Structure 1
Amino acid sequence: MPHCIEGWLSQSRVIAALAALLMLSAFTDVARAQPAAVPNVAAVGPSVTCQPTSTTRPQPKLPIGFTEQILYAGCLTQPTAISFNGSKTRVFVAEKGGKVWNCDLATPTCTLFADLGSEVCNDADRGLLGLAVDPQNDGNVYVLYTTRPMTGACSGKVLTGGQLSLLTGSGETKILPPAGSTNQPWCFYYTSHSIGGLVFAADNKTLYVSAGDGASFEQVDYGQLDTACGDGTSVPQGAFRSQGTSPYYDGVILKVTNPGATTQSVAVVTNGLRNPFRFARLPGLTDELYIGNVGWNLWESIDHFTVAGQNFGWPCFEGWDPNNNFGAALQPAYQSTGYCGSVSPASVTKPFYAYAHTSYVTAEDSKGRTCGGKPSGLGPDQNGSVISAIGFTDGTSTTYPPAFNKALYFGDLLRKCIWTMQPPNNTPQTFARGLQGGPVDLKSGPDGDLFYVDLVTSTVRRFTHK
């Protein structure tokens, strides 16, 4: 596999030593009815006691005054996402295998809120990946997961879909697609580029939902590799689904208005995304989104969504071109297929920020080669690159210095680093180097502090400042 992580963690072959902890790394006539079985969803379930909050040792390299704490350890298995309740006294934690925990931030004790294990396809980059607590009702928890195939095991190349659901104390309500529907909005055949994240809009009612392009991550895929999704035998398909060539919602971000209600509506607000595994909304009364778009051979990008209809160019464009005023760069492998003529440069929104697999993100990273490269000096991409987390601090901290308060943070699981910037400034500075594992979700929590989920060590962590 080339110098990248496909999807978000699909480089399992490269990081086999972590396999015990880490599974590395559309409406059509493909009718796959949802299973009738009701998963085990309970408001109060078994509780587990986590190890007491501790200070990470050794500490990652952080700005002066910051300390990393381990909030939950020894009680979770492959956590993927967190979401705080309205008062930020509790945090809900999703596990890749399908469990959702309701955790006390003071104890710490976690109580099982739901177990969707029988519903979730947990294989490679597939699983329960998206989580969002209703800002207006702590008892409503929205989840996004990869569904199991109709028959057979969930392993390798099998036909899977996606599911957006609402969890409450009384069970699971399937929203997109609804229970019993034969119309599947997403189609995924490969082990990566599946569903992604959930973010509430500024109105605290509307949901934004992301999903990958559903294409092969190992080679150019313009629809010539398979017909598993049944979205037509004509090309282009594959990665070109993100350009609207397919009835599936692959490679886009959706806006779901009034989710689950009879007045629910679903709209594509931005497309041309390869794998928008994580994205975040700018704090305040705005629906501006900053999207971590996982790249292929050359780039990792942050895309900035401001208005419906933006096209970020994949698979014809990826990253930016430093030699052309940092406009969107041509993706050579897909340009050579001959199907990119309909995707003009003028129609593509260039990335807000991008970093090359062959480069360090900041000059500081190269000191000691702690963001990607090892002391052998084989470069910043020696271990791979994947933009695996992105989030904001909300500006409520009374202890964070101004440069880190109401700031955008993004992390790379394989480079084991987190960087920060303050839009509209898109010049990053290094925030954390030498993490024990790597971030797959970044959220603002109590006291305005930054929290993150470490999938590699199965922990939830917090950065405090004195």
Structure 2
Amino acid sequence: MGVGPGPRLLLTDRIGTHVKAEKMKNRATALLWLFMTIFCRPLAAQAPPSGFTSTLVSGGWNEAVGLAFNKTGSKMFVWERPGRVWVVENGQRRQLLDISEEVGGWEDHGLLGFALDPNFDTNGYFYLLYVVDRHYLMNFGTAAYNPATNDYFSATIGRLTRYTATSPTGTCTVNASSRKILLGATKSTGIPSTFNGHVTNTLLFGTDGTLLVSTGDGAHPYPDYGNYNASYAAQALADGIITSKENVGSYRAQLVNCLSGKILRIDPATGAGIPSNPFYDSTNPNAPRSKVWALGCRNPFRMTLKPGTGSTDRTVGNPGTLYIGDVGAASWEETHVVDKPRQNLGWPLFEGLTPYDAFATQNTYNQDAPNPQYGIGGCTQQYFYFRDLIKQATPTGTATFTNPCDNTKTIPTSVPTFVHNRPLIDWAHGTGPSRTGIFSGSTASTINIGAAGSPVSGPQFGGSSSSGGVFYPYTDFPAAYQNTYFFGDYVGGWIRSMTVDATNKPSAVRDFVNSGAVVVAMAVSPAETGLFYVNFYPSEIRKITYNTTGNAPPVAVASLNKAYGPSPLAVQFTGSASSDPDGQPLTYLWNFGDGTPTSTAVNPTHTFTTATSAPTKFTVMLTVKDSQGSTNQTSLTVSVNNTPPQVTIVSPAVGTRYPMSGNSTYNLQATVTDSEQTSAGLSY
């Protein structure tokens, strides 16, 4: 998931009080000081097609990045990028776990992956995938460790841990001592991070009960061949986070014996690789190669399992068919399918459907691939280059790999070679085009979606950050949307639907939500119909449903006269601006989020009281219902014993100009104070 252009800086304290600082920002790379994240997406309409309705499920989150349901759908789990997990039950949220002290929540990093064990209701296991704060990684357990200290913009690792919930079908609480590290127990066994993003992504259970993990290349976003001076590779090398052979930047995605840029398939009990994995080493089940299922990913931010696929027998090597949203670099965003082991998505030698010349033409050694012809007949190439070991897709899926020193000899089978597994579709940054792959004779080619002769119908579209999606399994949507793959683009702000056949060939792409959906995750509930998604800004969970009755839902509008202040804090709420498109009368239900009785008044007054003087956040929900039972919700945040942080941007200075002819780099710097909290209590 990339951070796109835009004018809004959002600074939030841990209680949710926030201030906005407006400032022009260059689209190019920025060195962010004070851990400031640029949130790019302005508020916009999130309107699906006629007959569909997008409603608020839950708002007021602090950078929610995902949601998941238990098997019955009675509990919704929401995780936030800074490192907190929540349980939502009967509309009430409760914090399950807070590991923000350990999590490095800066730029694209944070707690991005979460999964419930298939047997969660009995064993209580759940899994977290996140980037570790460097100070925590290097100092925890020593006298040098300070829980209030963060060390961002430095080399670190991604980590996978398992926790155990007690009474998972009841109150569902967690004992922090149940923590078990499955990946990244040491700085040398984690997922390497040598820049500010693209490390940890999705956790997903296969049909066979194996745990699938998507990882990014962890490199600098600009062509990084290793030792890039703006990355943290030198520091990572000195620390032992990477080895010398891994000091190849984005090419780590092509190193079989490396955790970066992969789909991993591991044992959820131990973190070890699965014997039916394609590169499994029986002498070292914990070697990175033993865990690799697929490779060549840049940033496979979100992936999902196609329903009805996979085997329950893990020895077969078929966890199911994965649909993957892989975030592009310079030009193309991608939707990939991985339906068998050993598939190579191509990064960095390919971006989208076509070669990426910034890497495809480079002579960079793969030090895991020794050339047996080296020193023979004048051959000076000690190792094969990465570009020697992968070729563009062919109609048969096979290719011949000759030795670059002697074209009468092939590369030995002991060295893995690959044919590019092209994405189903790709779309260009900006306004498009959007394409699919075809063959012109035996040569791989592309054709625009919707063009004459294209196997895929639909509109042209663009975007800048593929955010994956889910299949919709229910029959309440119109037939054209049933059993289709819904996918999104975070920067593009849209959700679309793609029809695929049993062999995963796409036939149609349809518009669904064309703007305003800053989507970072999607889900479906086992208990109710509707497409759920997480909107990153504003941070909320929404649900899209289809209206089969013709009764349009009401519009909930809430406001308040005070958003913060000392306890006891009396707040006047107003719901009278709510309306119903059909003119039906409305009823109101206010939940104040503090455990007190709800109110059915249109414009209630409520007093928030806290037992201590500590800053406390309350999320207030208004639900309005029309006379035919259709509902809508909206939320407000009240911060008691709290005031907003005060922010002054000092760099770039007001009026700073930048050239339009090329990239520019600016230090973003601000002074920040908060009356109630130290800097450790602020998120940026």
Decide: shared fold, TM above 0.5.
yes
Q: State the AA in 1 paired with 2:190.
A: P
By how many angstroms is 1:336 displaced? 3.2
Q: State the AA in 1 paired with 2:220.
A: S
SS of the aligned residue for 2:54 comes to strand
Give yes or no for the alignment of 1:209 onto 2:213.
Answer: yes
The residue that corresponds to 1:248 in the other structure is 258
The residue that corresponds to 2:486 in the other structure is 409
The residue that corresponds to 2:182 in the other structure is 176
SS of the aligned residue for 1:161 comes to strand
Q: In the superposition, relative to structure 1, how do residues 16 and 248 fare at CA in structure 2: closer, same or farther (>3 Å)? A: farther
Matches within 5 A, 1:195-344: 195-203=200-208, 205-217=209-221, 219-225=222-228, 226-230=233-237, 231-233=242-244, 237-244=248-255, 247-260=257-270, 267-286=291-310, 287-320=320-353, 329-339=354-364, 340-344=387-391
Q: State the AA in 2 paired with 1:188.
A: S
Asked if structure 2 preserves the Cα contact closer than 8 Å seen for 1:273 and 1:314, the reply is yes
Q: In the superposition, relative to structure 1, how do residues 364 and 352 fare at CA in structure 2: closer, same or farther (>3 Å)? A: closer
Q: Between 426-435 and 85-94, report the one with greater CA deviation.
A: 426-435
By how many angstroms is 1:267 displaced? 1.7
Matches within 5 A, 1:56-455: 60-74=46-60, 76-104=61-89, 106=90, 108-138=91-121, 139-149=124-134, 150=138, 153-156=150-153, 158-168=154-164, 169-171=174-176, 172-177=178-183, 179=185, 181=186, 183-203=188-208, 205-217=209-221, 219-225=222-228, 226-230=233-237, 231-233=242-244, 237-244=248-255, 247-260=257-270, 267-286=291-310, 287-320=320-353, 329-339=354-364, 340-345=387-392, 346=399, 347-358=419-430, 359=432, 361=434, 385-393=464-472, 395=473, 397-424=474-501, 425-426=505-506, 427-435=508-516, 437-445=517-525, 446-455=527-536
Q: What CA distance in whole angstroms lies between the structure 2 residues aligned with 1:235 and 1:222?
A: 10
Q: In the superposition, relative to structure 1, how do residues 174 and 284 fare at CA in structure 2: closer, same or farther (>3 Å)? A: same
Q: State the AA in 2 paired with 1:63.
A: P
Q: Between 185-194 and 130-139, report the one with greater CA deviation.
A: 130-139
Q: In the superposition, relative to structure 1, how do residues 175 and 343 fare at CA in structure 2: closer, same or farther (>3 Å)? A: same
Asked if structure 2 preserves the Cα contact closer than 8 Å seen for 1:207 and 1:259, the reply is no
By how many angstroms is 1:403 displaced? 2.1
Q: What CA distance in whole angstroms lies between the structure 2 residues aligned with 1:235 and 1:96?
A: 27
Q: What CA distance in whole angstroms lies between the structure 1 residues aligned with 2:425 and 2:270?
A: 35
| Per-residue Cα deviation, 1:397-419 (whole angstroms, up to 9, x for no partner) | 34212222222111111111000
Structure 2 runs not aligned, ≥5 long: 13-35, 140-148, 165-173, 275-284, 311-319, 365-386, 393-398, 400-418, 436-447, 451-459, 548-684
The residue that corresponds to 1:20 in the other structure is 11
Q: In the superposition, relative to structure 1, how do residues 432 and 361 fare at CA in structure 2: closer, same or farther (>3 Å)? A: farther
Q: What CA distance in whole angstroms lies between the structure 2 residues aligned with 1:89 and 1:166?
A: 22
Q: What CA distance in whole angstroms lies between the structure 2 residues aligned with 1:440 and 1:189?
A: 23
By how many angstroms is 1:258 displaced? 3.7
The residue that corresponds to 2:32 in the other structure is none
Q: What CA distance in whole angstroms lies between the structure 1 residues aligned with 2:188 and 2:180?
A: 13
Asked if structure 2 preserves the Cα contact closer than 8 Å seen for 1:302 and 1:352, the reply is yes
SS of the aligned residue for 1:196 comes to strand
SS of the aligned residue for 1:241 comes to helix
Asked if structure 1 preserves the Cα contact closer than 8 Å seen for 2:156 and 2:236, the reply is no
Q: What CA distance in whole angstroms lies between the structure 2 residues aligned with 1:430 and 1:302?
A: 16
Q: State the AA in 2 paired with 1:341.
A: D
Q: State the AA in 1 paired with 2:267.
A: T
Q: Between 346-355 and 248-257, report the one with greater CA deviation.
A: 346-355
SS of the aligned residue for 2:423 comes to coil
By how many angstroms is 1:131 displaced? 1.1
SS of the aligned residue for 1:223 comes to coil
By how many angstroms is 1:332 displaced? 1.3
Asked if structure 2 preserves the Cα contact closer than 8 Å seen for 1:10 and 1:192, the reply is no
Q: What CA distance in whole angstroms lies between the structure 2 residues aligned with 1:398 and 1:170?
A: 40
The residue that corresponds to 1:459 in the other structure is 540
Q: What CA distance in whole angstroms lies between the structure 1 residues aligned with 2:521 and 2:390?
A: 32
Q: What CA distance in whole angstroms lies between the structure 2 residues aligned with 1:235 and 1:130?
A: 24
| Per-residue Cα deviation, 1:179-221 (whole angstroms, up to 9, x for no partner) | 5x46423110200111111111113x3110011001100x211
Q: In the superposition, relative to structure 1, how do residues 456 and 120 fare at CA in structure 2: closer, same or farther (>3 Å)? A: same
Asked if structure 2 preserves the Cα contact closer than 8 Å seen for 1:389 and 1:439, the reply is no
Asked if structure 2 preserves the Cα contact closer than 8 Å seen for 1:387 and 1:413, the reply is yes
How many percent of aligned residue pairs carry the same amino acid? Answer: 28
Q: In the superposition, relative to structure 1, how do residues 175 and 234 fare at CA in structure 2: closer, same or farther (>3 Å)? A: closer
Q: In the superposition, relative to structure 1, how do residues 235 and 284 fare at CA in structure 2: closer, same or farther (>3 Å)? A: closer
Q: State the AA in 2 paired with 1:385.
A: S
Q: State the AA in 2 paired with 1:153.
A: N
Q: State the AA in 2 paired with 1:176.
A: L
Q: What CA distance in whole angstroms lies between the structure 2 residues aligned with 1:417 and 1:235?
A: 36
Asked if structure 2 preserves the Cα contact closer than 8 Å seen for 1:271 and 1:310, the reply is yes
Q: In the superposition, relative to structure 1, how do residues 261 and 233 fare at CA in structure 2: closer, same or farther (>3 Å)? A: closer
SS of the aligned residue for 2:291 comes to strand
SS of the aligned residue for 2:11 comes to coil
Q: What CA distance in whole angstroms lies between the structure 2 residues aligned with 1:341 and 1:399?
A: 50
TM-score, normalised to structure 2, is 0.54
The residue that corresponds to 1:41 in the other structure is none
Asked if structure 2 preserves the Cα contact closer than 8 Å seen for 1:18 and 1:456, the reply is no
Asked if structure 1 preserves the Cα contact closer than 8 Å seen for 2:303 and 2:323, the reply is yes
| Per-residue Cα deviation, 1:387-436 (whole angstroms, up to 9, x for no partner) | 1232222x2x342122222221111111110001122352311111222x
By how many angstroms is 1:447 displaced? 2.2
By how many angstroms is 1:315 displaced? 0.5
By how many angstroms is 1:249 displaced? 0.2
By how many angstroms is 1:341 displaced? 2.8
Q: Between 166-175 and 265-274, report the one with greater CA deviation.
A: 166-175
By how many angstroms is 1:235 displaced? 7.8
Q: Compute the RMSD of aligned alpha carbons.
A: 2.7
SS of the aligned residue for 2:251 comes to helix
Asked if structure 1 preserves the Cα contact closer than 8 Å seen for 2:486 and 2:498, the reply is yes
Q: What CA distance in whole angstroms lies between the structure 2 residues aligned with 1:306 and 1:58?
A: 36
Structure 1 runs not aligned, ≥5 long: 1-7, 26-56, 321-328, 366-378
The residue that corresponds to 1:371 in the other structure is none
- The total of aligned residue pairs comes to 392
Q: What CA distance in whole angstroms lies between the structure 2 residues aligned with 1:145 and 1:261?
A: 15
Q: State the AA in 2 paired with 1:311.
A: N
| Per-residue Cα deviation, 1:69-96 (whole angstroms, up to 9, x for no partner) | 110012x200011110110111100000
By how many angstroms is 1:316 displaced? 0.5
Q: What CA distance in whole angstroms lies between the structure 1 residues aligned with 2:271 and 2:344?
A: 29
Asked if structure 1 preserves the Cα contact closer than 8 Å seen for 2:184 and 2:191, the reply is no
Q: What CA distance in whole angstroms lies between the structure 2 residues aligned with 1:330 and 1:210?
A: 22
Query: Which structure has the highest strand share of the two?
Result: 2
Q: What CA distance in whole angstroms lies between the structure 2 residues aligned with 1:24 and 1:271?
A: 30
Q: What CA distance in whole angstroms lies between the structure 2 residues aligned with 1:418 and 1:259?
A: 35
Q: State the AA in 2 paired with 1:62.
A: P
